[in-house]
Amino acid sequence: MRDDLLHLAQHLTQQGYLLTLESLTAQYAHISEFATQEIAQLVQQVDVIIVMGGDGTMLSVARSLGDSQVPLIGINRGRFGFLTDLRAENMLSEIDAMLQGHYQAESRMLLSAELQRGSETFVMGQALNDVVMKSSVRLIELEVSINQQFVSRQRSDGLIITTPTGTTAYALSAGGPILHANLQAIALVPICPHTLSYRPIAVSSDSQISVRLLHCQQAQLSMDGQAKMELQAGDLLRVARSRHAVNLLHPQDYSYFERLRNKLHWS
Amino acid sequence: MRDDLLHLAQHLTQQGYLLTLESLTAQYAHISEFATQEIAQLVQQVDVIIVMGGDGTMLSVARSLGDSQVPLIGINRGRFGFLTDLRAENMLSEIDAMLQGHYQAESRMLLSAELQRGSETFVMGQALNDVVMKSSVRLIELEVSINQQFVSRQRSDGLIITTPTGTTAYALSAGGPILHANLQAIALVPICPHTLSYRPIAVSSDSQISVRLLHCQQAQLSMDGQAKMELQAGDLLRVARSRHAVNLLHPQDYSYFERLRNKLHWS
Amino acid sequence: MRDDLLHLAQHLTQQGYLLTLESLTAQYAHISEFATQEIAQLVQQVDVIIVMGGDGTMLSVARSLGDSQVPLIGINRGRFGFLTDLRAENMLSEIDAMLQGHYQAESRMLLSAELQRGSETFVMGQALNDVVMKSSVRLIELEVSINQQFVSRQRSDGLIITTPTGTTAYALSAGGPILHANLQAIALVPICPHTLSYRPIAVSSDSQISVRLLHCQQAQLSMDGQAKMELQAGDLLRVARSRHAVNLLHPQDYSYFERLRNKLHWS
Amino acid sequence: MRDDLLHLAQHLTQQGYLLTLESLTAQYAHISEFATQEIAQLVQQVDVIIVMGGDGTMLSVARSLGDSQVPLIGINRGRFGFLTDLRAENMLSEIDAMLQGHYQAESRMLLSAELQRGSETFVMGQALNDVVMKSSVRLIELEVSINQQFVSRQRSDGLIITTPTGTTAYALSAGGPILHANLQAIALVPICPHTLSYRPIAVSSDSQISVRLLHCQQAQLSMDGQAKMELQAGDLLRVARSRHAVNLLHPQDYSYFERLRNKLHWS
């Protein structure tokens, strides 16, 4: 990793680009040859962020963007990446082409969530993949409303509220459909529902989703796989499309469906 | 049925509405007291069509609309109706209220399909629910493209291309997700796919979907459950959103989610 | 509940049966008119145990049986019972008939489990439904072997090892098949597996199942829905058919398939 | 194929084995150097049959066995074989070892089926994988009984009745579980059932299964993927374990689970 980072950084510098490393990355990789900056400042000041790692790293950077609209380029390391779509082997030539303007830009929606407990409201931040309520013990009971309309009362292991981006991640394992990344939709995917006819449902991305927790034990709220809060009966979770989005840059020959075929071993 | 029809027709006439019966219905029900007209003319000349029957009847009327935008009201008879949402018991008061302007209007997208075989192109018409390619023998092999981009080659019993309306019909039995009726999307739901990771996928409703039949035996193309054509290897099916839509009128207190709860026995 | 209990107890006493109440039940229901005994002694000394409650109560009594072969009769209270198959409404006449010998006897297999951690072995007891390893955070990684043969390495939310009895409980929500209660089999049902082709698998009931936990966070071992132990990476779980079984007595007209139809709303 | 056949035949003859080719195979491959016999006689007179091809070829030979108990060895050609487990590359050494007694013998159950229509009974033969009733148009309605007990009335695309061997074939695509090849069970797997709670169910292999066709259009009965008969409303299909079985010989190091991992791409 360190070698690839150095290699890329030197290459970009030679090309005349002004390069800043995220400070924790520089520290972790023992690289001191380049300017560094903390992520919160970085996202406000650069023209593009190049992320090297897996989808988890992309998710983590996406959560750090705040109101910055700086676009992200992902270079894949390790396991197959859905968001990190440049392969390390030929990253230099691909990056060069992209920085010269040969790319596909794509905007991915984020979810924002807040939790109301009694008179308190907790702002839970944003998710590029999903917002999940899940119990480690058997059943939770919850009540879902969309745009103030009652949808259903469910007994299940939990509920996944997912962006199109998230439908190829955890929600897929729970039996959810694939929503194309550019579909303006949010999907609700129940986890092991008690009633077999509770099926995944996709609604318009401008929907206001509320979930009231009626009964739970040791249930967690997590976002993009990060535990956020222990849930309590009575909690009210509100999820909606964030006014921010994540801007991804893909290589010119990027194909969503090709990614899908590779990830799901359709051959 | 005849009694309910007569009852409704007399009631509407007494209210001063000008009423025309669809001619086959009048003939079948032995009703001769009212003016009749064939469906093709009817849809061009009336202000609203009231359909009495089940969802199949609604689908059949919807296919007869051509370029007419006349709205439909459905009165349910028999099995639970998803599209026919007035119950026969209190139809008079509900119809009165709706004709006085107390209704929710909703536009439902249609799919249009054409089949290319060699140099010939067959126009297959429109579907409110779904376009289905399916074999009665084991496997068909087909290749799906969306907006000229290759998606996948599949071996399966068949493929369902469905509107949001159709996702609560046949596609649901095949493991498809529910797409809210107002979502601008089309779903592709494989039927018993050989590869277990071929999962339902929803794409934007402005997508151009092509399916090339590579291999089949005794496969049928059907639309809204009506057999349309025996398929042959080499056939190319093109499906896209129709420029027409079906306009439904619902009672003032109509709730999509309540329909869903009732139909799927969520309670 | 107290009224029904008293009513049944008085009725049986009048019929000349010698009746003992389980001591906690008597205490909880404030009944002091009858002899009481603790469950551990009770199961060794009576000819039949009548359980009043839901399936959870039956599961709890079943776990208390130790090596006793005393048969159980279940009277259902509350939610639909799969194991408690007498309805409270006509319990007196049904119980009378059964105690006079008009019943169907059925033996249901139990699973026994033990957990090996380093050099220690923890005996985890018995389960009538299932043994479950599950994480509240996203993924656990485990390796399954059957009769010392490597089966698979899985990344998932967890794994359910279930008796035929348990296949109509939690395992069904996770997508497992129904195994008829008299099938000599054990099913392994993955919970939200990362790899979509990991499907439920049923093996012979004399199989020795081992599960090695390779990676986990906040994962629990539970049996019949009761949390037993926090799991650690490296733990080895061994599950096999218990040498004990639970003997159920059903009314003469009991039908397994009728229970199934009612529970799953097949109508 | 011809080369491999010749190569194997010459090798076995050199080893001193008495070899007979199935006559159609010899004709098709233009091989005239060896004795030939028709399949019906062959299965009665040889000590072992070596099948070269795919699983389809094995199924076809299995159906020709009649009451012969002659064991089968399968050499795989082409697509991955579940039943044909020797690879062509090293077939000579593997065959030698097996013919010298180094093998695992395994007996696989067959289903036998008969169809009653009015006063006529049609004997439908045997299946190693499955007996399938399926419609090319949307719904068939059927009623299932097991051992004269009513199980359910179903509306679906069809029903698969499968041996454990068949659970890794078509039934898996329809959402069925995997039943280990040595489990004494038969599974009933509905195809796209209208009611979402109709789930696959496995019953003991000594069960008598009857299916009454209540309503159908263009429905077919097929066995092991071979169309057998056009079905009619009123038909009664009876399926049970055949008194015959198929005896397979596997290489010494054969592992059922390894086959499964390879076929389902668990890695």
> What is the tens place of the pLDDT at every residue in D69-101?
999 999 998 777 788 888 888 899 999 999 999
| The pLDDT value given to residue A148 | 96
Size of interface A-C (CB pairs under 8 A): 54
Q: How many CA atoms lie within 13 A of D249 on its CB side?
A: 21
Average pLDDT, chain D: 93
- Nearest CA-CA distance, residue C195 and chain B, Å: 8
Rounded to 5 degrees, what are φ and ψ at B235?
Answer: -60, 145
Q: Which residues on chain A are in Cβ contact (under 8 Å) with C196?
A: 172-173, 264
pLDDT surpasses 80 at D136: no
| The pLDDT value given to residue B74 | 94
Tokens (6 digits) for A197: 């006819």
Q: Measure Cα distances from C127 to A135, A179, B224, C117, C163 in Å.
A: 21, 40, 48, 20, 8
Q: Is the ipTM of this complex over 0.90?
A: yes
| The pLDDT value given to residue C196 | 92
Q: Burial level of C218, CB count in 10 A (0-12/13-18/19+)?
A: middle
| Residue D234 confidence class, pLDDT cut points 50, 70, 90 | very high
Out of A237-251, B52-66, D252-266, the most confident range is A237-251
Give me the percent of chain B exceeding a pLDDT of 70.
Answer: 100
| Residue C238 confidence class, pLDDT cut points 50, 70, 90 | very high
| The pLDDT value given to residue A210 | 98
d(CA D242, CA D240): 6
| The pLDDT value given to residue C87 | 85
| Residue C54 confidence class, pLDDT cut points 50, 70, 90 | confident
- Nearest CA-CA distance, residue B168 and chain A, Å: 10
pLDDT surpasses 80 at D267: no
Determine, for residues A197 and D197 on separate chains, whether the beta-carbon distance falls below 8 Å.
Answer: yes
Mean pLDDT over B150-178 rounds to: 97
| The pLDDT value given to residue B22 | 94
Mean pLDDT over B69-95 rounds to: 88
- Nearest CA-CA distance, residue A188 and chain B, Å: 10
| The pLDDT value given to residue A77 | 84
The minimal CB distance from B173 to the residues D136, D194, D222 is found for D194
Question: E strands of D43-164, at which residues?
Answer: 49-53, 72-76, 86-87, 103-117, 120-127, 130-135, 140-146, 149-156, 158-162
Report helix, strand or coil for B12: helix
Determine, for residues C175 and A175 on separate chains, whether the beta-carbon distance falls below 8 Å.
Answer: yes
Q: Which residue has the higher pLDDT, B89 or D68?
A: D68
Angle between helices B91-99 and B2-14 (to 10 degrees): 40
| Residue B172 confidence class, pLDDT cut points 50, 70, 90 | very high
Report helix, strand or coil for D204: strand
Tokens (6 digits) for D153: 């009335």
DSSP state of C195: S
Determine, for residues D200 and C184 on separate chains, whether the beta-carbon distance falls below 8 Å.
Answer: no
d(CA C251, CA C75): 11
The minimal CB distance from A136 to the residues C136, C170, C192 is found for C136
Q: How many CA atoms lie within 13 A of C28 on its CB side?
A: 7
Residues of B known to be catalytic:
55
Q: Which residues on chain D are in Cβ contact (under 8 Å) with C180?
A: 201-204
Strand D49-53 and strand D72-76: the pairing is parallel
pLDDT surpasses 80 at D158: yes
| The pLDDT value given to residue B265 | 87
The minimal CB distance from B192 to the residues D191, D219, D222 is found for D191
Mean pLDDT over B187-193 rounds to: 97
Q: Do the beta carbons of residue A73 and residue A83 sit within 8 Å?
A: no
CA of D227: which chain B residue's CA is closest? B137
| The pLDDT value given to residue D135 | 87
Determine, for residues C180 and D198 on separate chains, whether the beta-carbon distance falls below 8 Å.
Answer: no
Burial call B73-95: b when 16+ CB within 10 Å, e when fewer = bbbbbeeebbbbbbebeebeebb
Per-residue confidence in pLDDT tens, chain A, 267 aa = 788 899 999 999 999 999 999 999 999 989 998 999 999 999 999 999 999 988 889 999 998 898 899 999 999 987 777 888 888 888 999 999 999 999 999 999 999 999 999 999 999 999 999 999 998 776 899 999 999 999 999 999 999 999 999 999 999 999 999 999 999 999 999 999 999 999 999 999 999 999 999 999 888 999 999 999 999 999 999 999 999 999 999 999 999 999 999 889 887
Considering only CB atoms, which residues of chain D are within 8 Å of chain C? Answer: 146, 149-154, 172, 176-180, 182-185, 187, 195, 197-204, 255-257, 260-261, 264-266
Mean pLDDT over C202-225 rounds to: 95
Determine, for residues A227 and C135 on separate chains, whether the beta-carbon distance falls below 8 Å.
Answer: no
Q: Which residues on chain D are in Cβ contact (under 8 Å) with B170?
A: 138, 192
d(CA C146, CA D159): 31
pLDDT surpasses 90 at C208: yes
Mean pLDDT over C171-200 rounds to: 96
| The pLDDT value given to residue D63 | 86
| The pLDDT value given to residue B267 | 74
Q: Spell out the residues 6+ positions from residue D10 whose beta carbon is closer than 8 angstroms to its own.
A: none
Report helix, strand or coil for C94: helix
The minimal CB distance from D138 to the residues B135, B170, B264 is found for B170
User: Other CB atoms closer than 10 Å to residue A264's CB: what's the count?
Assistant: 19
| Residue B110 confidence class, pLDDT cut points 50, 70, 90 | very high
- Nearest CA-CA distance, residue B78 and chain D, Å: 17
Determine, for residues B136 and D220 on separate chains, whether the beta-carbon distance falls below 8 Å.
Answer: yes
Residues of C known to be catalytic:
55
d(CA A174, CA A159): 9
pLDDT digits (tens, 9 = 90+) for C118-140: 999 999 999 999 999 998 776 89
> Can you say how many angstroms the Cα of residue A42 is from the centroid of all Cα atoms in its chain?
19
| The pLDDT value given to residue A88 | 81
pLDDT surpasses 90 at D170: yes
Mean pLDDT over B140-168 rounds to: 97
Tell me which H or E stretch contains A251. strand A236-251
pLDDT surpasses 90 at C1: no
Chains that contact D by 3+ CB pairs under 8 Å? A, B, C
Q: Which residue has the higher pLDDT, B241 or A33?
A: B241
Q: Which residues on chain B are in Cβ contact (under 8 Å) with A155?
A: none
Determine, for residues D199 and A196 on separate chains, whether the beta-carbon distance falls below 8 Å.
Answer: yes
